[in-house]
Amino acid sequence: MDDQLDLILVTQSNVVDYEGFGNLPLDRSDLYKHLVYPRMVLHEGRFRSHLDYINRRVHGRYFDQGSMAQRREMLNIWNLPSMAGVHLINYLAQFGYRVRVINNLDSEWDWFEEAYRNCRRPPLVGISSTFYLSWKEVGGVAKRLRALDPEMDIVLGGAFANAETINGDPAAFAQRMRRYGIRYVLHAFNSETDLRDLLAARRGNAAIDAVRNLARIDGKLAGGSFELGPKVWNEPLLSLKDCPPTWDQHHLPFLNRTIQIRTASGCPFACAFCSYPTTAGPWQTVEADHVRAHLDSLMRIGSIDRIIFIDDTFNVPPHRFRELIKIFAEYRFEWFSFLRVQYVDDEVVRMMKDSGCKGVYLGIESASDKVLRNMNKRATSRQFAEGVQLLNKHDIDYLAAFVLGFPGEDDGTIQENIDFIRDNGVRFYSLKEFYYMPHTLVHEKRAEYGLTGMGNKWSHATMSHEQASRIKLEMFQAIESTHIDPDTSLWYMAYLYDQGYDFAQIRQWQAEINALMKRQLAAGNLAALPEAAEFTQAAE
């Protein structure tokens, strides 16, 4: 029995309803093809993730056909360790709290069940909402957890919970919490300290009504009173500055070769479509000495030799980036990061290559200077082209991400994107429609652009979301470069690399999947295609 466990934190699970997509009528694909392509591929009768297509080819089975032990050996993007879980276990340990992280509930349910049942006193169970976009997704996880114990105390925190309060009242949580059996919601950004205080209150070391940014239900979930703690802004914690370098001292059985860390918080830029500068707080960076101490700890984890740095502006300011690269060159790990490619030169890219850089994410968004100005990107198409050519020269792989349909987009700017990918030999790219959020700079200019709607349904003077969805599929079918699903993007590439595939193999797999999707898009009747045949024989 482990009566000292304070928290079991569930950080990830599958968020796409493949079962629901699999039940769509194949003879009516014209009604929904923009929802599934190019995110999914039709294979043996159902729409599958790209990784599940590879699972069937390599392992002889799909992910949902495997046991928990088999699923941990199969390909699933949520098997890649999240930054949130590893960060929290490292942060809370310094205060004496014992935390077990379940990285992917869909491949570690047996580990969750064992950990929960082995506790003499039921621990708090946390749901990190970093990758959830709706209460349906959150509620599905909560209901699954409470099926194990109807009295389970669940706390929800993270990006989805935070976003619900940007333009809303935390009091609105009450109905959803009762419906899904969630006792607590930590609704502020940067809520690590609030979680720490909640754990202290459960131990009896603090008053629960003093826990900041906490919505809670006292007593029975059905009829207990709904209470709100004081609402306070929390300064962001930095995983390397505010946590001791003890990564090697924790139980992290889900690790393979890759770990994610952050060396900065916030963003010094203010792209017009992005909410992060509004929600993340002021931009802060970690000093090089702190970074070095944490790298030493990470290297003491014998299996780890790859790092994904998830800083939004990793190479800004340039002098700090050069200092970090020099440090990386002293270690044996390989690394991935976001990159503002307009700020690199030949020397920096060569240093990146020599220090172990394997891949970067380029938020290019548009190759049209007109759209870039509207986006407030502070870059030009020419600067992007020069940076991409340097990455090609030094053989560093990258994903160039494009946003389609931002105000000002038209047929001419779309063609500029196509030309940019072709003329600069872009290796991997992604396409995603503009998503309109109220807490962004573009919202302040909505009258100027004739921008109406919200979320993924919008219209403005030069384009609508329906047109952007159609154009996305037309571009995908026309461009010869390798398209990667924008929802997984760099992580998809880093994860496959983590699993032993080099970039030539990744490109080969993805080219095969893309060719299959293009064939399906060109078909008049999906049900008549050979890949629509049902899967009839499970692997031995």
HEC readout, 315-330: CCCHHHHHHHHHHHCC
Q: What is residue 238's predicted lDDT score, i.e. its pLDDT?
A: 65
Q: What is residue 234's predicted lDDT score, i.e. its pLDDT?
A: 85
Measured distance CA(105)–CA(125) in Å, rounded = 12
**Amino acid, res. 248:** D
**Amino acid, res. 393:** K
What is the bridge-based pairing of β-strands 46-49 and 98-102?
Answer: unpaired
Q: Quick one: which of 324, 336, 341, 335 has its CA closest to 360?
A: 336
SS3 417: helix
**Amino acid, res. 228:** L
**Amino acid, res. 321:** F
Question: Of all helices (H) and strands (E), which one includes residue 5?
Answer: strand 5-10
Q: Which two tokens stand for residue 518?
A: 């293009």
Q: Quick one: which of 223, 101, 227, 221 has its CA closest to 150?
A: 221
Q: Which two tokens stand for residue 220?
A: 């029975």
Residue owning tokens 């079918």? 477
Residue owning tokens 């976009």? 133
Measured distance CA(38)–CA(492) in Å, rounded = 14
Measured distance CA(519)–CA(76) in Å, rounded = 25
Measured distance CA(520)–CA(476) in Å, rounded = 12
Q: What is residue 19's predicted lDDT score, i.e. its pLDDT?
A: 85
What is the bridge-based pairing of β-strands 214-218 and 225-228?
Answer: antiparallel
Q: What is residue 268's predicted lDDT score, i.e. its pLDDT?
A: 62
Q: Does the CA dihedral 423-424-427-431 come out positive or negative?
A: negative
Measured distance CA(220)–CA(237) in Å, rounded = 34
Measured distance CA(282)–CA(266) in Å, rounded = 6
* CA–CA distances in Å: residue 161 to residues 105, 132, 136, 158, 216: 19, 9, 13, 6, 13
Q: Which two tokens stand for residue 381?
A: 């198409």
Measured distance CA(425)–CA(391) in Å, rounded = 11
Q: What is residue 289's predicted lDDT score, i.e. its pLDDT?
A: 85
Measured distance CA(396)–CA(394) in Å, rounded = 6
With beta carbons less than 8 A apart as the criterion, state whether 194 and 211 touch: yes
Q: What is residue 536's predicted lDDT score, i.e. its pLDDT?
A: 44
Measured distance CA(242)–CA(403) in Å, rounded = 34
How would DSSP label each residue in 84-126?
Answer: HHHHHHHHHHTTT-EEEEES-HHHHHHHHHHHHHT-SSPPEEE
Residue owning tokens 């039921």? 122
**Beta strands in 262-396, from DSSP E residues, in sequence order:** 264-265, 284-285, 306-309, 334-338, 357-365
Which residues, including other chains, have CB under 8 Å from residue 540's CB and lie 6 or more apart? 60
Which residues, including other chains, have CB under 8 Å from residue 31's CB and lie 6 or more apart? none
Determine if residue 84 is left, alpha or beta; phi over 0 gives left, psi from -120 to 50 gives alpha, anything else beta. alpha
Number of H helices, E strands in the chain: 22, 20
Q: What is residue 228's predicted lDDT score, i.e. its pLDDT?
A: 94
Q: What is residue 540's predicted lDDT score, i.e. its pLDDT?
A: 33
For residue 280, the 8-state DSSP code is H
Measured distance CA(112)–CA(471) in Å, rounded = 43
Q: How many CB atoms lie within 10 A of CB 369?
A: 15
Helix axes 192-203, 83-93, angle to 10 degrees: 50
Burial class (CB in 10 A: 0-12, 13-18, 19+), 69: exposed
Measured distance CA(172)–CA(169) in Å, rounded = 6
Q: Quick one: which of 38, 27, 39 has its CA closest to 523?
A: 27
* pLDDT average per 10 residues of sequence, the chain (540 residues): 82 91 86 92 95 97 97 98 92 95 98 96 95 92 96 94 83 93 94 96 93 94 90 79 88 96 71 54 75 93 95 89 96 96 97 98 96 92 98 98 96 98 97 90 91 94 96 97 95 97 97 96 89 57
Q: What is residue 170's predicted lDDT score, i.e. its pLDDT?
A: 87
Radius of gyration in angstroms for the set of CA atoms belonging to the chain, rounded to a whole number: 23
Q: Which two tokens stand for residue 19?
A: 């079962």
Burial class (CB in 10 A: 0-12, 13-18, 19+), 86: buried
Opening angle at CA 208, ends 206 and 209, nearest 5 = 120
Residue owning tokens 């470069």? 481
Q: Quick one: which of 225, 242, 232, 247 has its CA closest to 287?
A: 242
Q: Quick one: which of 484, 322, 301 has its CA closest to 399?
A: 484
Measured distance CA(10)–CA(127) in Å, rounded = 5
